[in-house]
Amino acid sequence: MTEKKKIAVVGAGISGLTCAYELQNAGFDVTVMESRGQVGGRMSSRVKDDFIFDLGADHLCNLYVEMKKYCKEFGIEWEPMRFLKYGVFRDGEVLSMKDVIGKLSKVRLTLQYLSTRDVGNFFNLNELAQHDKDNAYDFMKRRTGLEVSDYFVDAFTSTYQFHRSDEISLGALFGIMQSINRDQKGWDLHRTKGGMQALPDAFADRLNVRLDNPVKEVEGGEQVTVDGEKFDAVVLASQANRTKKFYKNPTQEQKKILDSAKYAESISVAFRVDRSKLPDTAIVWVPYVQSEKISGYVNEAMKGEQMIHDGKSLVCVWLHEEYAKMLSKVDDDKVFDAVKKEFVRVCPWFQSVDEIESFDLERWPEAMPKFYNGYLKTAKEFIEGEGQGAQNVFFTGDYLNSPWTEGALRCGQRVAKQVTEKLLS
C-alpha cells in the first residue's frame, strides 16, 4: 500500500481548516498547527456570563453558500437574525438607509448601480482585477458626489473593513454593488447557532489539530520542513505578516505577495446594556465624517434569546484602524472608558456612560486585509503564476483576493485542489 503524502497546514482559521478538511478527504495525511489555544482565528467566540461574544466575524449572510453546505453536512443550524434593520449615524440620529442622503444623491447612486453590470464575484476578487484601476472613494465622489461617498461608500468600508474607502479598490466596490443590486435577499443576516465557533470546532473535531503550537521555522523544498519535521507540502494559512516571520526561504514571487499584503487594525469592544433600551436595529454604520473613532456597532439582541439574560444584552462596537492603533498599548479598562465616551455620542439609544457596563474586548492587529488599488492585480498574478506552490509551499487566506469568512473558506477549497493536483499529478 502506498504511504499517504504528509501535508502540514499552519493556521487554524476558517481558510486553513477548510483546506485541511478537503485535503484529508482527498486522501492526504494532514496535520494542522495552531499557535493559539483554540481554532477559528477571526471566526471564533468566547462564552462569558452565559453570553456568546463573537470575537471577530459577528454575523453571516445567505450569500455564504459554501459555508452553508458545511453547516448542513456537520449538522450546524443556520438560523436567521431576529431583525434586519440597518441604520447610519448622522448628526445625532440613527437614520435609515433611504433617509441618510438627499434626493439628488439617491438618483446619482441609482444610476451608478444600473451601470454596474456583471463584473464578477466579490468572494473571488481575481474576477474583478480588471477593474483594479482606481480607489472606491475617489471614483464614487466623481460619479455620485461627496454625500454618497461619505455616507455609503466610506461608511460601508469602515464598518466592515475598519479602514477608509480610499484604500479599497474600485474592483472590490463593483463586486459589492453588483451583489447588493442582484442578490438583495442573499444579504439577509444569519448566524451559526452556538456562535461563530461552531463551524471551526466542527472542522477541528474531524482533523488532527495541534493547539498551542506556534511554528518557528518553515523551509520550502522538495520536502518541506516545519520546525524540523518533514512534509511533502505545507499550506501557510496564517496572516501574511506572520508568515513572513517564520517562512525562511520564500521565492521572489512569494516574497512579493507577502510584502504587498496590508491589514487594518481594530478592536472589538462589547458592552452589556438593558435590552429594553435597544431598538430593533441590527447594525449601525458610523461614517468617518461623524466619528474618527468608532466605525460601527452591532445590536447582539438580533441573535435571539441566547443573547438576552436577566433583561440584559450586548452591543459590540468596532473601532476605526487609526483609533485602534492609538489604543493598542492602552490597558483594557482605559480602552473601555475611552470607547464608552465616544459611543454615547454616536448612539442615541443611551444618554450616559452610566447606562453601559464594560463586558469584554478583543484586539485585532490584523483585523482585515486591505484590497487597495493595485493589490487585486498583484494577488491575481501570484495566484495564477509560479509563486503559488513553489517549493511545495502554498498560501491560503482572505488576503489572497478572498474577502470575509466566506471568501476565506472558498480560498481554502481552491488551494486544496491546487495541492491535490500538484502532489497527485
Q: Which residues of the chain have pLDDT under 70?
A: 1-2
SS3 content of the chain, % helix, strand, coil (to 5): 40, 25, 35
Q: Which of 156, 176, 174 is nearest to 165 (CA)?
A: 156
Distance from the Cα of residue 43 to its chain's centroid: 8
Please state, in angstroms and rounded to a whole number, the distance separating the CA atoms of residues 130 and 140: 18
Instruction: Kindly give, in sequence order, each residue whose CB lies less than 8 Å from that of residue 274, ignoring residues fewer than 6 positions away.
Output: 311, 312, 313, 355
Cβ atoms 319, 293 nearer than 8 A: yes
Domain layout of the chain by residue ranges: 6-42+195-262+372-424, 85-115+135-168+263-369
Cβ atoms 109, 144 nearer than 8 A: yes
What's the one-letter identity of residue 132? D
CATH architecture classification, 85-115+135-168+263-369: Alpha-Beta Complex (3.90)
pTM above 0.95, yes or no: yes
The residues that bridge with 271 in the sheet, in sequence order, are 315, 358
Give me the DSSP letters along 114-163: HH--S---TT-GGGGGGG-SSBHHHHHHHHH-HHHIIIIIHHHHHHHHSS
What is the number of other CB atoms lying within 10 angstroms of the CB of residue 13? 27
Specify the pairing of strand 233-236 against strand 229-231.
unpaired
pLDDT value of residue 2? 65
H helical segments located in 247-301 = 252-260
Does residue 268 come out as left (phi exceeding 0), alpha (psi in the -120 to 50 range) or beta? beta
Cell 466575524 belongs to 57
List, for residues 261-296, the tens digit of each pLDDT value.
999 999 999 999 999 999 999 999 999 999 999 999
List, for residues 201-239, the tens digit of each pLDDT value.
999 999 999 999 999 999 999 999 999 999 999 999 999
Please provide the CATH number assigned to the domain covering 6-42+195-262+372-424. 3.50.50.60
